[in-house]
Amino acid sequence: MPRPRARKVYVWSDYIYPDVIDSFQKETGLEIELSKFGSNDELFN
């Protein structure tokens, strides 16, 4: 069975630099679906 080419990542709204995502995608060939949240309530609802 082939591996999915995308990964879903959930992070705090200003927790990760866009350059990190770009570098990861270039190095691994995996697409990142980035979702940001501002509070625990947003994450769990």
pLDDT for 7-29, tens place per residue?
Answer: 999 898 888 888 999 999 999 99
Alpha-carbon gap, residue 8 to 31, rounded angstroms = 9
Domain boundaries along the sequence of the chain: 6-44
Of the segments 2-6, 9-13, 29-33, which one has the largest average pLDDT value? 29-33
For residue 12, report the phi and psi dihedrals to the nearest 5 degrees: -60, 155
Q: How far apart are CA 4 and CA 11, in angstroms?
A: 20
Token readout for 25 is 């995608």
Whole-number pLDDT of residue 1 = 65
CA gap 18, 2 in Å, rounded = 27
